Amino acid sequence: MTATVVEGKALASALREKVAAAVAAAGIEPTLAVVLAQGEEGAAAYTRSLAKAGGKVGLRVDVHEREPRVEEAASLLAELNADPSVHGIILQTPFAGREGDAELAELIALAKDVDGQSSASLGLVWAGRPRFVPSTAAAAIHLLEANGVEFVGAEATVVGRSPVVGKPAAALLVARHATVTICHTRTRDLAAACRRADILVAAAGAPELIKGEMIKPGAAVIDCGYNFTEDGRVVGDVAFEEAAEVASLLTPAQGGVGPVTTALLLMHVARAAGAEIAA
């Protein structure tokens, strides 16, 4: 193995300590409202873990579970936007299918959009004036920065163009002066685009799509993918064992980007409530 396998746990723990200290110093109780579609066990489990992690750093996480209907979610979002005791809001879908859910995300007030789910938030990220960056994209960049990866002039490839991971990750890389290629299902030669990357961010949701032979020797590889195999294992978008033979830095599917994502989301909530936390 040539790659340094970068676990997110230590970084996440350092971020949570910062949040806890800032919240205690400010004497506030930052509150996150989670709008959760009923019957989504995966989202419910994530929400429980968020509430537990939040509790440890002085944050309150209120879960508002509703029937998966647009009207239910829309009226709740209006209430939460107007409620001064709520500092951050996240929408855990599906309420209305892909398009409908995207429309619902537009209803989150910009100042409370702590996971950057609305197009207004994403627009600010591309404009280079981010308010809240989607936490998974922010985590990918944070892991690269924390490990001293050089962005300026680097070739970076992002696999995936979703508004929550691929697009904001690409915007953050451009802002750091990397030259960025964004790939998706219509990309003609994914292997070639990956192979020229000094920095490769995988966010496709496609199990082990990126093989070792598609990775440039010495590349820094961040795997945002979190996929379940038929036999119940969790794998990333990158074939881990093969990639570890080629890359210089690699995150595992479990315990890599995930813990940092959660810690950064909590940090965003604390900031939305007025806590001052240095980058």
Residues that bind ligand NAP (CB under 6 A): 136, 159-162, 164-166, 183-187, 190, 203-206, 209, 224-227, 257-258, 261
Query: Which two three-digit tokens encode residue 134?
Result: 């989607």
Provide the 3-class DSSP secondary structure of residue 28.
Answer: coil
- Shortest Å distance, C-beta 105 to ligand NAP: 13
Nearest CA to 267 among 77, 81, 118, 133? 133
Q: Using the minimum distance from each CB to ligand NAP, give the nearer residue, 19 or 43.
A: 43
CB-CB neighbours of 119 under 10 Å = 12
- Shortest Å distance, C-beta 147 to ligand NAP: 17
Name the DSSP letter for residue 132: S
Q: Using the minimum distance from each CB to ligand NAP, give the nearer residue, 57 or 138.
A: 138
Is residue 136 within 8 A of residue 203, CB to CB? The reply is yes
- Shortest Å distance, C-beta 256 to ligand NAP: 8
- Shortest Å distance, C-beta 82 to ligand NAP: 28
Query: Which two three-digit tokens encode residue 133?
Result: 């960056």
In degrees, rounded to 5, the angle at the alpha carbon of residue 154 between the alpha carbons of residues 150 and 157 is: 115
Report in angstroms the alpha-carbon separations of 150 from 147, 174, 177, 271.
9, 13, 10, 28
Q: Using the minimum distance from each CB to ligand NAP, give the nearer residue, 108 or 204.
A: 204
Q: Using the minimum distance from each CB to ligand NAP, give the nearer residue, 227 or 248.
A: 227
Q: Using the minimum distance from each CB to ligand NAP, give the nearer residue, 78 or 191.
A: 191
- Shortest Å distance, C-beta 39 to ligand NAP: 19
Query: Which two three-digit tokens encode residue 8?
Result: 């997110």
Is residue 226 within 8 A of residue 196, CB to CB? The reply is no
Query: Which two three-digit tokens encode residue 140?
Result: 């990918």
- Shortest Å distance, C-beta 162 to ligand NAP: 3
Is residue 187 within 8 A of residue 193, CB to CB? The reply is yes
Q: Using the minimum distance from each CB to ligand NAP, give the nearer residue, 30 or 163.
A: 163
